[in-house]
């Protein structure tokens, strides 16, 4: 069950990283959200991610913070599905400025939302020692990296290929 916490932590780490990877600029190009909402998300996402990590490292259950993260990831997954429907396979800006939006990315967002909801429900308590919590944070960082690579690979393999004669 502790692996659920690692998945939820991976989502929180990516909330922090997304703003540094250019997500606000790419999202602005979609033309679906007003600029004030993009500016607010560029601040709120990393703050929420840092709050989740701080609760985890402090050994605090932080149920409201986890619930907010679950809502954030669910909203992100919904936005990705709407973006896919309205604009097609454009760069989503989740993790980089190139990889297109896909159902797989929305699915990953749903997975982070579900894991964060489990944490908000209190089903998984933070480990007793700081050392173990740090180890799980490192594992979550690795899981976040795997999610980025997996989404990129899935987008490359699912894109239509040109036929050569």
Q: Where are the domains of the chain?
A: 2-158
CA atoms of 41 and 32, how far apart (whole Å):
14
Residue 37 has, within 13 A of its CA and on its CB side, a CA count of 10
Amino acid 79: pLDDT: 93
Per-residue pLDDT 10s for the chain (165 aa) are 788 999 999 999 999 988 887 888 888 889 999 999 999 999 999 999 999 999 999 999 999 999 999 999 999 999 999 999 998 888 887 766 777 888 888 888 899 999 999 999 999 888 889 999 999 999 998 988 887 777 667 666 665 554 444
The pLDDT value recorded for residue 148 is 73
């Amino acid at each position: 069950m502790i692996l659920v916490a690692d998945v939820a932590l991976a989502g929180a780490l990516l909330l922090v990283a997304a703003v540094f990877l250019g997500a606000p600029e790419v999202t602005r190009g979609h033309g679906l959200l007003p600029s004030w909402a993009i500016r607010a998300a560029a601040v709120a996402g990393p703050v929420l991610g840092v709050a989740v990590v701080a609760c985890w490292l402090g050994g605090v259950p932080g149920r409201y913070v986890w619930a907010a993260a679950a809502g954030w990831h669910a909203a992100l997954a919904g936005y990705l599905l709407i973006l896919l429907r309205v604009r097609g396979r454009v760069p989503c800006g989740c993790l980089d400025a190139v990889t297109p939006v896909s159902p797989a990315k929305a699915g990953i967002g749903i997975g982070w939302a579900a894991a964060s909801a489990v944490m908000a429900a209190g089903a998984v308590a933070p480990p007793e020692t700081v050392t173990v919590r740090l180890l799980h944070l490192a594992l979550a960082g690795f899981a976040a990296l795997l999610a980025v690579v997996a989404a990129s690979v899935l987008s490359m393999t699912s894109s239509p290929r040109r036929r050569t004669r």
